[in-house]
Amino acid sequence: MELRNLAKYATAKLATNAGIVAFGSGGRLVLQIALFVLVARMLGATDYGAFISITALVAIISTFSGLSCEIVMVKAVSRDPSRVRDYFGSGLVLLALTTPPLVALSIFAVSIISGAHVGWPLVALIAVGDLFFLRVNMLCAACYQALELVNKSAILNIGFSAGRLASAFLAMALLGHLDLTHWAYFYTGGAVAAATLSCIWVIHDLGWPKLFVAFDEANFGFHSSMQSTLFFMLRDIDKPLLSKLASLHAAGVYAAAFRVADAAIIPIRALMYAAFARFFRHGQRGVTGSSDFALRLLPFGLAYGALAACGIELFSFALPWLLGRQYAESASILRIFGILPVFHAAYNIGADSLTACGRQSTRSFVQSCAAAAMVVLCLVLIPRFGTMGAAVANVTSHALMATGMWTAIFLHRHRERATAIAAVSQIR
């Protein structure tokens, strides 16, 4: 009876945490949509395409900033809450050490891959905002996430989005007309302000960080960074490739459609965010434990994905009115993206299940195959079909990744059960 009550309590707590994060993500979603509409309209499709092609490449590279210190935080502190200050300090040190070389790499990547022809100081400015200050805010939020204080974690995430929206309104009030160069300063300035306030709050609540480097988690952090890089490559590499192979205007129109579809995926990420620490606890029992938990979450994720797909299809008709005539083509692209929330739900739940039970290499393999497919499909389809080709490449690659992830899970479950049966047979 006590075990049954404990299970009910754990389920209720997860539902409560997911609800809090979903509410916070809803607020963050509203802020991000407002920021997207404001910036897309002020910059215009061409400058917006240049901005997105830069930030997309920075996002891919930024996953190695701090060696996924926020994920290491959740993994370690969810099992030993007394070490939150240790991993907070380790994360800050790693962020400081990894940011300079990654900024240099971002400048090089933009010059080679992107069609945005801008000076390196501008790229460096944007990169610092996302490589360091955004990641600092993520680390601060992870401190509370690991302790399952998801209400405070949600506030920090909302605060970061609010900071960037406030910077956009300030830019509009001071400048009237916004170009890419001026927006880069306000974009990074909002990140600096939000990350600073987050650090102050965490230090007030949890104490000063202990500055050291958690070398014992370096391997896990590297693999987590690699997985995140593959994920962001799958999500974002189409935009700089489109700016390179087609035009900045095409990239801006395409990115506007994708931004709406990506916003619809935020509630799925909220569910995963709330459940992440619990995945690691279930993962201590191997792939069977983590995947059993994943299978309980999967129907909720798929149900939301189907609902979001319907909403995206309806919203596509309003997109040109919301952004202006120069984004008219975005509506037809958005209709292709409608199915993405379903694939994201299946992929995210399965991928976290593999990570939690120590199967990072399997997850990385599936993601690398999907990312490779994305690049190949973009190179083949974009020159011939433009934005529509990029959209088809994106959706197809996500479908392959979701399928591959669950195929890998069931193969590992089968092997784990076979091993357990063989062990029992030897004992007898």
- pLDDT (tens digit per residue) in 19-77: 666 666 667 778 878 888 888 888 888 899 999 999 999 999 998 999 889 989 988 88
Long-range contacts of the stretch 342-345 (C-beta < 8 A, 24+): 342/302, 342/305, 342/306, 342/309, 343/305, 343/395, 343/398, 343/399, 343/401, 343/402, 344/265, 344/268, 344/305, 344/398, 344/402, 345/268, 345/298, 345/301, 345/302, 345/304, 345/305
CB atoms within 10 A of CB 1: 5
Q: For residue 423, what pLDDT is reported? A: 65
Percent of the chain with pLDDT over 70: 92
Work out the angle between the directed axes of helices 84-113 and 134-146 (0-180°, nearest 10): 150
Show the DSSP H helices in 147-286 as ranges: 150-175, 180-206, 218-236, 238-245, 248-264, 266-283
CB atoms within 10 A of CB 101: 13
Give per-residue pLDDT as tens, 335-355. Answer: 999 999 999 999 989 888 888
Which residue reads 């007394």 in tokens? 82
Q: For residue 427, what pLDDT is reported? A: 60
Amino acid at 10: A
Q: Is there a contact between 130 and 59 (Cβ–Cβ < 8 Å)? A: yes
Percent of the chain with pLDDT over 90: 46
Instruction: Record the tokens describing residue 90, joined without a space.
Output: 């380790």
Model confidence at 92, pLDDT cuts 50, 70, 90, reads very high
Average pLDDT, the chain: 86
Model confidence at 187, pLDDT cuts 50, 70, 90, reads very high
| Mean pLDDT in residue range 71-90 | 89
| Mean pLDDT in residue range 289-303 | 88
d(CA 63, CA 231) in angstroms, rounded, equals: 10
CA angle (320, 269, 266) in 5-degree steps: 20
Q: For residue 118, what pLDDT is reported? A: 86
Q: For residue 207, what pLDDT is reported? A: 92
Residue 128 has pLDDT above 50, yes or no: yes
Residue 321 has pLDDT above 90, yes or no: no
Q: For residue 9, what pLDDT is reported? A: 41
Helix (DSSP H) and strand (DSSP E) numbers for the chain: 17, 0
HSE at residue 385, side-chain half, CA atoms within 13 A, is: 12
Could you give the C-alpha distances from 157 to 64, 69, 165, 194, in angstroms and in order?
A: 20, 16, 13, 9
| Mean pLDDT in residue range 175-194 | 91
Residue 200 has pLDDT above 90, yes or no: yes
HSE at residue 226, side-chain half, CA atoms within 13 A, is: 16
Q: For residue 34, what pLDDT is reported? A: 87
| Mean pLDDT in residue range 233-243 | 90
d(CA 381, CA 285) in angstroms, rounded, equals: 44
Q: For residue 3, what pLDDT is reported? A: 38
Comparing 224 with 421, the larger pLDDT belongs to 224
Q: For residue 26, what pLDDT is reported? A: 67
Q: Is there a contact between 270 and 21 (Cβ–Cβ < 8 Å)? A: yes
CB atoms within 10 A of CB 8: 10
Comparing 15 with 396, the larger pLDDT belongs to 396
Which residue reads 């389920």 in tokens? 11
**DSSP3 helix / strand / coil % (the chain, rounded to 5):** 90, 0, 10
Sign of the alpha-carbon torsion through 37, 43, 47, 51: negative
| Mean pLDDT in residue range 83-90 | 92
d(CA 33, CA 37) in angstroms, rounded, equals: 6
